[in-house]
Amino acid sequence: MTSFDPKSLSTSKLHGYLLSAVAPRPIAFASTMGADGNPNLSPFSFFNVFSANPPIMIFSPARRVRDNTTKHTLQNVEATKEVVINVVNYDMVHQMSLSSTEYPEGVNEFEKSGLTMLKSDIVKPFRVAEAPVQFECKVNDIVKLGTEGGAGNLVICEVVKLHIDEDVLDENGTINQQKLDLVARAGGSYYTRAKKGFFEIPKPLSTQGIGVDNFPDHVKNSMVLTGNDLGMLANVETLPTDENIKGFIEDLGERYPNIKTATHRQKHKLARNYLSFGDVESAWKILLS
Parse the chain into domains and list their residue ranges. Answer: 6-193, 212-288
pLDDT tens profile 77-90: 999 999 999 999 99
Whole-number Å distance between alpha carbons of 222 and 121: 30
Q: Which pLDDT does position 241 carry in this prediction?
A: 93
Count other C-beta atoms under 10 Å from residue 99's C-beta: 26
Give the residues across from 58 on adjacent strands: 48, 156
Whole-number Å distance between alpha carbons of 206 and 250: 33
Residue 153 C-beta-side C-alpha neighbours within 13 Å: 22
CATH fold label, 6-193 = Pnp Oxidase; Chain A (2.30.110)
- CA distances in angstroms from 199 to 61, 177, 202, listed in the order given: 24, 18, 10
**Nearest CA-CA partner of 179 in 132, 235, 232:** 132
**Nearest CA-CA partner of 66 in 117, 106, 111, 12:** 12
Question: pLDDT tens digits, the chain, 289 residues: what are they?
Answer: 999 999 999 999 999 999 999 999 999 999 999 999 999 999 999 999 999 999 999 999 999 988 999 999 999 999 999 999 999 999 999 999 999 998 988 899 999 999 999 999 999 999 999 999 999 999 999 999 999 999 999 999 999 999 999 999 999 999 999 999 999 999 999 999 988 887 777 777 777 889 999 999 999 999 999 999 999 999 999 999 999 999 999 888 888 888 888 999 999 999 999 999 999 999 999 999 9
Give the residues across from 143 on adjacent strands: 154
**Nearest CA-CA partner of 57 in 119, 165, 134, 127:** 134
Phi, psi of 13 (to 5 degrees): -65, -45
pTM for this entry? 0.86
How open is the CA angle 31-34-35, to the nearest 5 degrees?
Answer: 145
